[in-house]
Amino acid sequence: MNAYEEYMREVARPMREELTNAGFDELTTPEEVNQFMNKNSEPALVVINSVCGCAAGLARPAAIHSLNHENKPEKLVTVFAGQDREATEQMRSYFSDIEPSSPSMAIVKDGQLQYFLPREQIEGFEVEEIVEQLTEAYDKYC
């Protein structure tokens, strides 16, 4: 690993921990993504994490806060765009008709995309507005 990659890993560490400390499982390899998508039959929230300060600084708190909702996904997973590239690409392969977007959030069930919240619906919004979008999706898909 070169010095830049090591530096970015250190920069991203608190961003990773923000989600893992809230109960999200990190998927860091394509194999982990495939195993999860092929075996999980419950509604799951997938957060495509990012170091982008403007949108990711809203996405992570919104994802965590949304979990206070009565209806919520059974499983919580995350991949980190720009850090775990292969895992992120593999997760995005399950969202075939969706333009890559990070940060972003999705609800998946039985290996199928049920709902997608792209960066454009995160950046520039208040955390409460993002939470509202997520909890409406939870009520519909969970």
Q: What is the CATH number of the domain that holds 94?
A: 3.40.30.10
How many domains, in total, are found in the chain? 1
Residue 41 belongs to a domain? yes
For residue 18, is it within any domain? no
Encode the chain (142 residues) as per-residue pLDDT tens digits. 789 888 988 989 999 999 999 999 999 999 999 999 999 999 999 999 998 777 888 999 999 999 999 999 999 999 999 899 999 999 999 998 999 999 999 999 999 999 999 999 999 999 999 999 999 999 999 9
Name the residue range of residue 71's domain: 23-141
User: Rg of the chain over CA atoms, in angstroms?
Assistant: 14
Strand partners, 116: 106
Within a domain: residue 67? yes
Containing 5, the helix (H) or strand (E) segment is helix 3-20
Q: Would you say residue 8 lies in a domain?
A: no
DSSP 6: H
Model pTM greater than 0.85? yes
Residue 76 counted as domain residue? yes
Is residue 117, in this structure, part of any structural domain at all?
Answer: yes
Q: Which residues are part of the catalytic machinery?
A: 52, 54
- Contact, 81 vs 39, CB < 8 A? no
In a domain, 16, yes or no: no
